[in-house]
Structure 1
Amino acid sequence: MSLKILVFLGSVRTSTPPSPARLGERVAKRCVAQLAEDGHDVVLIDPLDYDLADPFKPLFSYSQSQVPEDLLSLAREVESADGYVMVSPEYNHAMSPALANLLNHFGSSLYSYKPSVIATYSAGQWGGARAAVNMRTFLSELGCLPVSAMIHIPKAQEVLEDDGGYAKGQNAEEWAGYFHRAFSQLSWWANATRRYHESEDGERRPGAFTRSPSQRNAP
Structure 2
Amino acid sequence: MSLTVPVILGSVRSDRIGIRAARFLIARLEARGHVAPLVDPAELGLPLLDRMYKEYPAGTAPEALERLATLYRGADAFLMVSAEYNHGIPPALSNTLDHFLEEYYWRPSAICCYSAGQFGGVRAAMPLRAMLSELGMPSIPSLLPIPRLQKALAEDGTPTDAWIEKAAAKFLDELAWYAEALGERRKAGTPY
Q: Please give the range of the TM-score, normalised by the shorter of the 2 chains.
A: over 0.9
1:69 aligns with one of 63, 72, 83: 63
Please, what TM-score do these two structures have when normalized by structure 1? 0.83
**In the alignment, what sits opposite 2:37?**
43
Question: What is the one-letter code of the residue matched to 2:133?
Answer: S
Give the CA deviation at 1:54.
4.9
Q: Which runs of 5+ in 2 are unaligned?
A: none
Aligned-partner Cα distance in 2 for 1:181–1:91: 26
SS at match of 2:2: coil
SS, match of residue 120 in structure 1: strand
The residue aligned with 1:105 is 99
The change in CA–CA distance for 1:13 and 1:29 in structure 2 (over 3 A counts) is same
Cα distance in 2 for residues equivalent to 1:131 and 1:148: 15
Identity %: 39
Counterpart code for 2:3: L
Question: Distance in 2 between the 1:152 and 1:191 partners?
Answer: 23
- CA distance in 2 between partners of 1:92 and 1:48 (Å): 20
- Structure with higher Rg: it is 1
Alignment length (residue pairs): 192
Matched, 1:123 2:108: no
- Structure 1 residue identity aligned to 2:182: T
Matched with 1:185 is: 174
Query: What is the CA-CA distance between 1:42 and the residue it aligns to?
Result: 1.1
Aligned amino acid, residue 140 of structure 1:
S
Match of 2:51 among 57, 64, 75: 57
Quote the residue 2:145 is aligned against.
152
- What's the RMSD between the two structures over aligned residues? 1.3
Residue 51 (structure 1) shift: 3.6
**Mapped pair 1:206 → 2:191:** yes
Taking the aligned partners of 1:149 and 1:38, their CA distance within structure 2 comes to: 19
Ranges in structure 1 where 5+ consecutive residues have no aligned partner: 15-20, 208-219
